[in-house]
Structures are given as C-alpha cells and as structure tokens.
Amino acid sequence: MTHAPGDNVGIGNFGSGNMTFNGSVTGQSFWAAPNRPASTSKVDVGVLTVLKEEMRAVVNVLRTQRDYRSRRLDAGPLAHEARLPVEAGHLRIAAIQTLDRGPRSAALSYQTLIQEYAPPVVLLVGIAGGVGRDVRIGDVVVSDEVVYYDARREAADGVHRRGQSQTVAAPLGHRLNEFFAATGDTVPAPDGSTFRVHRGPIGSGDAVITDRDSEIRHWLHAYHEKVLAVETEAAGVAQAFHEEVRRDSTPRGWLTVRGVSDAADAEKGHSYHELASQHAAATMLRLLPYLLFDPPAS
C-alpha cells in the first residue's frame, strides 16, 4: 500500500481478527476520498460506551427522544435507537456498549457499529481521569486529538516512549467550532447545576493511571502540554476510523466526549462515575444537532 503525505499509519492494525499496537502515527486523519458513493447510513450518529454507568446515562437521554427502542444485534450487543428532532427533520442515533474495556474491544465495537448502522459520525461517550490544570471532577472534555501513550521501546537505559497522535477530521473540527461558539464552555446539568466543557487533546492507552506522579502523565504533558484527560478506549476508535477511511467507507469522523470522574491519582474510584457519565451524556445531547451531515430524516 502506498501512503500519501500526511496519512496516519500505526497504533493498530485491525483486520482479519488480528490486532497489533506497534506502529508509527504522524499527521492528521483526513475526511474522505473524493467521489464518495451515496450515503447508505441507517443512522446519523453512532455512540459507543464502555461502563454500565455510561450506557445508563446515554440510554436515559435517548429515552427522552422520539421513537426510542432497543434491539439485539446479530453481533451480540443490545442497541439503543432514537430520533432527535432537528430543523426540518430528525437526527437518527444508535448506541451500543463495548464488550470490555480497552482500545481493542473499542475498535471491534466500532466495527460492529459501522457494519450495522454505517453512521457518518461516531461518538465515544463516557468518563475519564482529568489531568489538565483547569479540569475538575464533573467537567466534560470533548477531545479533538488523541495521544496514544503505550507505544514505546524498553531498553537497558529505560523506557523510550514514542509520540503518536491522531486529530479529528477537519469537517468535525469545524462543527466543534460552531458548537463552542454557540454554547460557550458552560452547560446546564440534569440536576439544574452547571459544569464546564473543555476542548483539547486526551491521552489514551491500555494502562490505567492512578498516580499523580506517573511517568505516563509526565510524558504526556511533555509531548503536549495541553492534554486534558486520560482514558483507555479512544486510541482504538481513532485507529479503527482511520482504517475505515482508507477503504473509502462511510465514516466521516469520530469524537470523544468524556466526563471527568477523577484526577487519575491515588483517589481514583467509582464515587463520581454516575455524575461524570450524566454530564457526558448531557453534553452529547447538546452536541448532536451540530453533527448532522446528510439531509435529516423526515
């Protein structure tokens, strides 16, 4: 295969059931090849969650919309579907939960979502650990860049991490600009309070970080000083999207919407999973109308 300048190659190889995370990733993900065939999407936005609290929060939001239903997919997961009223029509949504945590399971669930629904946009909605200076528990991070932190070389003189990142496709970047211009950085919570929404890069990998002085945290901020949060699935979704784009398939982009449940330190626990999940789902609902690319369903 010949790669054009700026292509992303690496992080993972998803195909024929084989997965590796040992490549090199540089540049930015791009939107799509020219002369794209007519859309065959069954929904406008697909949603992936990981934890039960995340799925529950997303389902509670979808239940407030039109034509909510759930159905079992042939691949196994229970899918939740709804329609969100938008100008001149409806935006169709489908959400599923991954089988397990981590980038590999997220990548496989992404492929299930694409095969079943062919959504132009996929959102990863849930929780993360906040590592940004101004990020607080209950805030939400909308990620426009994923930094994969597990790629490394281990040598006698120590661990040498290799910077690998992917940014969102330009069309979604423009939609995020519109969202933040219209909404600002404060969003009402379901309980009537408010929380802040941040935009910026996140770190993603298999390692769960529970140490404020973690070597990974230091490396992430050396690689990109504005990294806001850390989690364990976005790298898999970002690479799975990249592999789909290379085959000129439906997806136009992905975004990660993460409620901050802890500070990725020794105090990490489950106390704020529900709160962070609810705030992420509330942000998702406000963001959805900005993510409609094809004409809305009637």
Asked if 186 and 194 count as a contact pair (C-beta separation under 8 A), the reply is yes
Tokens read off for 238 = 């970002």
Widest distance between CA atoms in the chain: 63
**Element spanning 244, H or E:** helix 234-246
Torsion angle, alpha carbons of 123, 124, 125, 129, to 10: -140
Give the CA angle between residues 96, 143, 145 to the nearest 5°: 115
- d(Cα 45, Cα 25) in Å, to the nearest integer? 26
- DSSP letter, residue 54: H
Tokens read off for 92 = 């169709």
Per-residue pLDDT tens over the stretch 37-62? 444 679 999 999 999 999 999 999 99
Asked if 262 and 126 count as a contact pair (C-beta separation under 8 A), the reply is no
Per-residue pLDDT tens over the stretch 227-284? 999 999 999 998 888 777 544 445 578 999 999 999 999 999 899 999 999 999 999 9
Reported confidence tier of residue 24, pLDDT bands at 50, 70, 90: very low
Return the SS3 of 44: coil
Amino acid identity of residue 219, one-letter, is W
pTM of the model: 0.83
- Residue carrying the six token digits 């070389």: 153
